[in-house]
Chain A
Amino acid sequence: MSRRPGFVLEVDKSTPPTLFWSGETFGLETLPEGSRVIYAPEPMKAIEDPYRAIRHALLHPEGDRDPLPALLRPGMKLTICFDDVSLPLPPMEAPDIRQMVIETVLDMAAEAGVDDVELIAALALHRRMTEEELRHALGDRVYDAFAPHGLLTQHDAEDPDNLLFIGETDQGEEVEINKRAATSDLLVYVNINLVSMDGGHKSVATGLASYRSLRHHHNPQTMRHSKSFMDQPASELHSANWRMGRLIAESGVKIFQIETTLNNDTFPSNFGFLQKREWEWSLRDRASYAAASKALSKVPPRMARQIFHSIRSPHALTSVQAGEVEAVHALTTANVWAQQGVDVEGQTDILTMGLPYICPYNVNSIMNPILVACLGLGYFFNMYRGKPLVREGGVVIMKHPTRPEFHPGHHPSYIDFYEQVLTQTIDPVQMHKEFEESFATDPWYVHLYRTGHAYHGVHPFYMWYWCAHAMAHLGRVIVVGGDPKAVRRLGFSPASSLNDALEIASDVVGPSPTLTHMHNPPIFMSDVH
């Protein structure tokens, strides 16, 4: 059967209840008649021989770039950078696509006799990856060949000795990136483009940048004017990265960009019901749902978290393109939309979403309340092109337990942000002015970022800014099933059930609102007309 496109269901009397994620569990909710449910397109067909496709892409580059072997020569300095643990979601089954691409690049480098090769995880201000995570992303063969010799490193945005100031854009944005990457004869960047925001000039301009550079676009003004992050022409974040990327290119840094797209085959077969339309659930799906939801409701959240974070997604490669950054990214973006785009007619008064257990910043970690806000308002809300799914002044209802739990090793500054900043203000602009710098330059957070596995001190601010557009757009945000105190700390309204939430929402949108539910994951992006 051919792949079915995305689908907007109109709920009627015969519609079975709809799946809602809620952190490390899920449940079924009955939506009011007339509501809409948006389902993702079915997964695109995987490329049968990924290694062959990768090799073909490297030999037939896009834009003004020679084939990769022609760019490699003995005595040159080659740096290969790659996306970090935040991609893809959930982590994919081995072999990871980064491993396949980097092995192919290294084969070519070895054939050309290139000795000076270094690999850098492009972390920006994210936490450093563990050895296990690096081995999963790169494979043992690559890890064992480079890591023991100090040739596999992770970008350190706080290492003054390994940062190079490139210059300023015409808008006065300072550009400072990893020195090794900037001074290489060739910088190969290996991307996983899970959503249309990923890749392009953002890879180097953000992934290898310092706080000095990142603050020019990771701020409330830029985020509020990115409508949305996924709609490149309408994204100020995109524009800022493009200005910086072009400056980097003009400065002489030669980048060979490799971008890959994956299909949205998100869950393994035993969790297959999570990505199916409910009325098509088979007996096995229903039994799996019943068993999983019952079991998850009985086990402690910590164990449920371990179960979910052990899921490896069967994501498969759907395209790979290489060459000059902008030419490559245009193709990649089209391929991402081909997998994820869903046409939706008109906006809604209430947008509902069940938030799953994972976002880019809590892989193998805890989804704390700030990340809950970021996933719902920063990511799900922004998964649109054209207009937001919910009208201005509308309501977002999220379902998530929103427990005030934090991973002390991964998110130390989040704890202080939650206790010291959110108790003072939830206004992104005010916290940007009053608190950001002290967190960003705190030596303890810098130390934990550089030597442990902690996100940078400023990172919780960025997560909050990520919500700025939604916060300015929405009339109210309601969290169903969340810890009331934590939900109120975020500035949202707690509700014990979906019906309660709809009751609360009626104060804002009236008694007969329209409602749309995002059946996400699998990821989709709405083309709202």
Chain B
Amino acid sequence: MAGSGLRGRLRAARFPLAAPSWPTTVERPDPERRIGLDYDHDWSRRYPVRLARAVVMDNLARPAARLLAPATVRGLEHLQHVEGPVIFAANHLSHLDTPLLLTTLPVEFRHRTVVAAASDYFFDRTWKAVLSSFTLATIPIERSRVNRKSGDTAAELIEDGWNLVIFPEGGRSPDGWTQPFTAGAAYLARRTGRPVVPVYLHGTRHVQPKSAESEGRAPGGSGTESRRSSRVRRSPIAVLFGSPLYPDEGENTHRFSDRVEAAVATLSREVHSDWWQARRSVSAVAPVEGATTAHRGPVASPWRRAWALDEPPSRDRASEWPD
């Protein structure tokens, strides 16, 4: 038969038609793995990939987000008069934050935005790198510090007209309070001259919480809890955009980063009140020397921190409470 003849010929093919055999005297190196910070993500910004991502985002992700986690969006008017590219600096509570934020963005920003993602988490396996680069246009960054390579990559993309989503906390919050901001967003703003738009994301940790395993801790309790805690649930969520911030003349990176963090904290106060009440509560704190306006919570035991967060329980959680 022709088929078996072809297969036979292919089997009998020798180098160079067939792949070369490896000399036994030569140690075979591990295949070169270009992952982590070295991952080549240029492909994810080529037009065919952007088109495919836009189709997925507009036709699958946005409807799914509306269904699963209907979001209250405030402050989009701040983006109307700002010319891209901009740096969106947001607090980080859940893996849902990125798709939620991207699907919330106006269309002129949505499809030209890259997301800074932890190289050690989203780019530690090739499949994860490919998946996140395709679906979210992620680029790898080192989360613990401003790495020169990742900084250069992000700055080049911003200068090339790409908006950037960055979570300056460097990881998801373990308890809902905002962790101290690293200076990455402020550094990129100063370097590129582009504004930082503060974003506060609320409630996503109830929809898809951070599991104990992903924090690197041993799961507590029975183990059932940790499985249940990573389950996706419906819950009200909110996305609040602040007004764009530019570094002041003479303002160094760390001071500007503090200002961005304070702006996100101010937005957090708007969730349960309004803009004016939030401003007033900030003003009440700010004149006191040494007082912080950041959304850090009290230095206290975990339950008191959770109590002080003052978040209304989700409907699902309420229904789980014993009568």
Contacts and interface: CB of A to CB of B under 8 A. Distances in A.
B23 A11 contact: yes
A9 B22 contact: no
B39 to A, nearest CB: 15
A286 B17 contact: yes
Interface in B1-55: 15-17, 19-26, 32
- Chief secondary structure at chain A's binding surface: mixed
Interface stretch (A13-21, A372-380, A393-401, A419-427): A13-21
A286 B26 CA distance: 20
A455 B32 CA distance: 49
Interface string A13-32: 11111000000000010000
Contact of B15 (A1, A9, A28): A28
B20 A9 contact: no
Interface in A268-312: 278-281, 283, 285-286, 289-290
A142 B19 CA distance: 49
A279 B22 contact: yes
A12 interface: yes
B219 to A, nearest CB: 39
B26 A17 contact: no
B16 A289 contact: yes
Given A1-B32, A279-B26, A14 B21 contact: yes
A286 B20 CA distance: 9
A10 B26 CA distance: 9
Given A9-B25, A28-B15, A16 B32 contact: no
A9 B16 contact: no
A16 B32 CA distance: 21
A14 B23 contact: yes
Given A16-B15, A286-B16, A286-B17, A279 B23 contact: yes
B20 A279 contact: yes
Contacts of A286: 15-17, 19-20
Nearest to A16: B20
Interface in A45-77: none
Contacts of B32: 1
- Chief secondary structure at chain B's binding surface: loop
Nearest to B18: A286
A11 B23 CA distance: 7
B98 to A, nearest CB: 32
A160 B282 CA distance: 94
Contact of A278 (B15, B24, B25): B15
A9 B17 contact: no
A17 B22 contact: no
A10 B25 contact: yes
Contacts of B16: 16, 28, 281, 285-286, 289-290
A290 B21 contact: no
Interface residues of B, number: 12
- Contact residues on A (Cβ < 8 Å of other chain), bracket: 20 to 34
Nearest to B15: A16
Contacts of A289: 16
A528 to B, nearest CB: 20
Contacts of A285: 16
Contact of A281 (B20, B24, B26): B20
Given A1-B32, A28-B16, A286-B16, A9 B26 contact: yes
Nearest to A293: B16
A283 to B, nearest CB: 8
A277 to B, nearest CB: 8
Contacts of B21: 14-16, 279
Contacts of A280: 20
Interface string A82-109: 0000000000000000000000000000
A450 to B, nearest CB: 49
A421 B201 CA distance: 90
A11 B22 CA distance: 10
A11 B26 CA distance: 10
Contacts of A15: 21, 23
A281 B19 CA distance: 8
A28 B20 CA distance: 12
Contacts of A10: 23, 25
Given A9-B25, A10-B25, A278 B20 contact: yes
A278 B19 CA distance: 10
A9 B15 CA distance: 18
Contact of B17 (A11, A12, A290): A290
Nearest to A283: B19
B23 A12 contact: yes
Contacts of B15: 16-17, 28, 278, 286
A12 B24 CA distance: 7
A343 B188 CA distance: 49
B217 to A, nearest CB: 36
A453 to B, nearest CB: 39
A279 B19 CA distance: 8
Contacts of B20: 16, 278-281, 286
Contacts of B26: 9, 279
B25 A12 contact: yes
A375 B23 CA distance: 30
Interface in A202-225: none
Contacts of A278: 15, 20
Interface string A208-248: 00000000000000000000000000000000000000000
Nearest to B29: A1
A116 B15 CA distance: 61
A256 to B, nearest CB: 38
Nearest to A286: B16
Interface string A488-512: 0000000000000000000000000
Nearest to A273: B16
Contacts of A281: 16, 20
Contact of B24 (A1, A14, A17, A28): A14
A114 B32 CA distance: 54
A11 B24 CA distance: 9
Interface in A465-500: none
A279 B16 CA distance: 10
A295 to B, nearest CB: 14
A16 B23 CA distance: 7
B177 to A, nearest CB: 43
Contacts of B25: 9-10, 12
A11 B19 CA distance: 17
A362 to B, nearest CB: 28
A272 to B, nearest CB: 14
A284 to B, nearest CB: 11
A289 B16 CA distance: 8
A283 B15 CA distance: 11
A34 to B, nearest CB: 11
A22 to B, nearest CB: 16
Interface string A176-215: 0000000000000000000000000000000000000000
A1 B15 CA distance: 26
Interface string A115-139: 0000000000000000000000000
Name the residue among B16, B22, B24 with the largest chain A CB count within 10 angstroms: B16
A28 to B, nearest CB: 7
Contacts of A1: 32
Name the residue among A9, A11, A16 with the largest chain B CB count within 10 angstroms: A16
12 contacts: A12-B25, A16-B20, A16-B23, A278-B15, A278-B20, A279-B20, A279-B23, A279-B26, A280-B20, A286-B19, A289-B16, A290-B17
Given A14-B21, A28-B15, A279-B20, 5 more contacts: A10-B25, A12-B25, A28-B16, A278-B20, A281-B16
The 4 nearest A-B residue pairs measured at CB: A16-B20, A286-B16, A15-B23, A16-B15
